[in-house]
Amino acid sequence: MCAEGAQAGVEVFLLAENRLLREALAKILRKKNDIRVVGAASFSPSALKQITDAAIVRIDPTVNFTWLQASPGPGVAVDNFSVRWTGQVQAPVAGNYTFSTVSDDGVRLWVNGLLVIDNWTNHGTTTNNSAPIALVAGTKYDIRMEFYEGTWDAVARLLWAYPGQAQTVIPQSRLFP
């Protein structure tokens, strides 16, 4: 997530049931100059609670992905992976904001340290909405979204609605590292 010229981090974790497979994929990825491999772990929906090392670290300007049956990045399988986006979001106007996620499969969203969306389940493409959150214009708030893909289609989007703005993907200009 990032604002104009700024960037925030995304961590795509290398997850595989087989330790030898994880090690082989990590070795291949380490040879890429633009990819920093710092670890891998077995996959389970609770894996994000235990993972501290990323297989791939990259910058995404927004969270607006429809991977379906494609990989989110080099060396990452089309199924059984997870992603954690972190950064800050800046409110353009004062008022009540509703944050939304569209995901297939599990998703959790924290705003300013508060868990506002928690659908950590296998499911088809689903929209989840937070309760309204009062934000102050110009203020930056910490934001973290975690997502895991089990099998089949993979979708991950982060949206908001606020006074005068219908639900839309949070734009790059309002996201900061």
Evaluate whether residue 1 is within a structural domain. Answer: no
Q: How many domains does the chain have?
A: 1
Alpha-carbon distance of 81 to 136, in angstroms, equals 35
- Any domain includes 177: no
CA gap 65, 72 in Å, rounded = 9
| Residue 58 belongs to domain with CATH number | 2.60.120.1560
Cβ within 8 Å of residue 70, ≥6 positions away: 78, 154
pLDDT given at position 63: 96
Domain that residue 96 falls in? 10-70+82-171
| Residue 51 in this model has a pLDDT that exceeds 70 | no
Cα distance between the two ends of the chain: 7
- Report the C-alpha gap between 177 and 169 in whole angstroms: 17
Q: Is residue 90 part of a domain?
A: yes
Q: Is residue 3 part of a domain?
A: no
What is the per-residue pLDDT across 91-150, written as a single tens digit (0 to 9) for each?
999 999 999 999 999 999 999 999 999 999 999 999 999 999 999 999 999 999 999 999
Claim: this prediction has a pTM higher than 0.85: no
Predicted confidence at residue 115, as pLDDT, reads 98
145 is a domain residue: yes
> What is the tens place of the pLDDT at every residue in 7-17?
333 344 444 44
